[in-house]
Amino acid sequence: MTVGIGNGGRFAAMPLTATQGTTRRHALPTTAGRDGFTLTELIVAIMLLTFGLLALASTAAFLTYEQAASRRAERAATIAASRLELLRLGRCIPTQGTEPIDGLMAAWSVTPSGPTALAVVRVSWMERGVAVAQRYTTGIVC
């Protein structure tokens, strides 16, 4: 006995065989070029995407912190340059002082030594609970 099995719109006769009183048919061919992804592939893709996004988020937080630290250092350099210019205008008069500016502390001193004077400006601030300081020096002709 033969049975017709659909095969892409065509029918082919397939013989039936009997084994121990049961009827067995030949298996239908599987679709060769299946589209889509397996569940395992989707889980792996989601995990990789999650790790990538977490790495991106931590990098963004680090860059934000570093940008703020860079802004503070730039502000400290600007404050020091301004204070050194004021000290140059005062010539060789011995002086010292401190002044808080925008959350930073500026301290300065002028020490005359013969025909020149040494002007020192130190700008400090707190960063993550640690004191950070930058020191700027210049010579002034008397």
Give residue limits of the domains in the chain: 38-141
Question: pLDDT digits over 59-116, tens only?
Answer: 998 999 899 889 999 999 999 999 999 888 887 888 899 999 988 999 999 999 888 8
Q: What is the pTM of this model?
A: 0.59
Provide the 8-state DSSP code for 36: S
Q: Is the pLDDT of residue 125 over 80?
A: yes
Q: How far apart are CA 25 and CA 23, in angstroms?
A: 7
Q: Hey, what CATH topology would domain 38-141 get?
A: Pantoate--beta-alanine Ligase; Chain: A,domain 2 (3.30.1300)
Residue 101 has φ and ψ, to the nearest 5°, of: -135, 120
